[in-house]
Amino acid sequence: MNIIRQHSDNCDVVTLDRGATRERYISGRHSGTHPLAIFDDFPPASGNIAAQLVFGGCGYHDAARAKMAGAGWPLLWVQGDVCSGEHVAGTQAFVLDGLPVKRIHLENGVVGTLWSDDDADYCLLAGILPLNKTADRYQQTRECFERIEAGVQQAGMTFLDVVRTWFFLDHLLDWYDVFNKARTDFFNERGVFEHMVPSSTGIGAGNPAGAALSSGALAIKPKHNKVTITEVGSPLQCPATAYRSSFARATEIAYPDRRQLIISGTASIAPGGESLYHDDVVKQIQLTLDVVEAILKSRGMNWADTVRAVGYFQNIRELPKFNEVLRARGIAQIPMAPAHAIVCRHDLLFEMELDAVVPVK
């Protein structure tokens, strides 16, 4: 397998060239031109978009879909709690070339993509919403988990095959404890804690539907014992379950030709679970990078192996400070989409999620 990287000021494309098939991670950023310019290359000239994330004002949702020929693929659109809505900060898409795909449909339309290769079956879900948007927040959270479960069941899987989730909670700081209780209750009922807790991101962001939350998930079902999926701890942080948040710090999937590391949303949290560097976004970014780097190094990886990342900023105007920290550390440009959102605690200003891939020789 070869990894091909293409970088520009406003877009990064990382391609996993596996011979007959190609997997592409596209990360786009606001260019300062018209807000819809970020969608000029969607859909791409070849391949199928398995799913797409968009971080920006919900007011652009309908026009963006029209520009993208209706966007008949799973689309998860989120507007951060603190986002003014005046532009689209970033977008990210996963594209498959050379593999047939099947779309997963639920009540609100196309919400997932199923594909297979010699090693595993895969199901990527995006834009999962609760059925009853007038229900209380606990019930809407339950319904999101049940809709994720229904989606992976269409792919011939169970919730125990889910390795990664995303949750975007409208006004998160008002009810994050409620969300965590609903998640833990669902995991207890499905036996998740006896199996493997998925990696996850939980961020404060609204959605065009006006639901309490929107969500996505990745499920993987290996076809043979040469594919292994394992939880990875953080050398610099305690398990998130230690402070009643049910997610893994990271997950590694080892295939015959590559290893993929999925790092959950990570912020400026001390080994004991407390927030550090209140009101200092630069120090929070530095600690977050320390934590992510330690996880990468624990698996024999480094920043150059990044295939996708999302940076969540309470103040999107602080993105240049993030880039300055990267340069000061000698880290080359990483393929990241920026987002304007609230992190899970009132004193946290920045969070980052990241995937890395290395070939197996």
| Per-residue confidence (pLDDT) for residue 245, from 0 to 100 | 76
Write the pLDDT tens digit of every residue in 107-166.
979 999 999 999 999 999 999 999 999 999 999 999 999 999 999 999 999 999 999 999
Q: Rounded to whole angstroms, what are the CA distances from 208 to 60, 203, 214?
A: 10, 16, 10
Q: What is the pLDDT of residues 245-302, one digit of tens each?
A: 789 999 999 999 999 999 999 999 988 889 999 989 999 999 999 999 999 999 999 9
Amino acid letter for position 37: A
Least confident stretch, 90-94, 242-246, 307-311 = 242-246
CATH architecture label of 2-359:
2-Layer Sandwich (3.30)
Average pLDDT, stretch 28-45? 88
Kindly report which listed range (88-102, 162-176, 213-227, 238-252) carries the lowest average pLDDT score.
238-252
Burial class of 219 by CB neighbour count within 10 A (0 to 12, 13 to 18, 19+): buried
> What average pLDDT does range 334-344 have in this prediction?
94
For helices 137-154 and 176-190, the axis angle rounded to 10 degrees is: 40
Q: 150 with 192: CB under 8 angstroms?
A: no
Please identify which residue in the block is written with the tokens 């593999």: 99
Q: Residue 30: what pLDDT?
A: 87
Residue 240 has pLDDT above 80, yes or no: no
- Give per-residue pLDDT as tens, 160-183: 999 999 999 999 999 999 999 999
CA 315 to chain CA mean position, Å:
19
More confident residue, 10 or 35: 10
Q: What radius of gyration, in Å, describes the C-alpha atoms of the chain? A: 19
Give me the chain's average pLDDT, please: 95
Q: What would the mean pLDDT of 32-56 be, rounded to a whole number?
A: 91
Instruction: Tell me how crowded residue 84 is: count the other CB atoms within 10 A of its CB.
Output: 10
Q: What are phi and psi of 323, to 5 degrees?
A: -65, -35
AA letter at 203: I
Q: What per-residue confidence (pLDDT) applies to 325?
A: 98
pLDDT at 347 over 90: yes
Question: What is the pLDDT at residue 81?
Answer: 66
C-alpha separations of 275 from 81, 245, 271 in Å: 20, 14, 10
Whether the model pTM is above 0.85? yes
Residue type, 31: S
- Dist. CA 160–CA 320, nearest whole Å: 40
* CA atoms of 143 and 155, how far apart (whole Å): 19
Span between the terminal Cα atoms of the chain, in Å? 9
Tell me the helix, strand and coil percentages in the chain, rounded to 5: 25, 40, 35
Other C-beta atoms closer than 10 Å to the C-beta of 194 total: 9
Confidence bin at 360 (pLDDT 50/70/90): very high
58-79 CB burial, b ≥16 within 10 A, e <16:
bebbeebbebbeebebbbbbbb
Residues in CB range of 114: below 8 A, 6 or more apart = 101, 102, 103, 104, 121, 122, 123, 154, 155
Q: Is 272 exposed, middle or buried (0-12, 13-18, 19+ CB in 10 A)?
A: exposed
Q: Which pair of tokens denotes residue 360?
A: 């197996």
How crowded is residue 139: how many other Cβ atoms within 10 Å of its Cβ?
Answer: 15
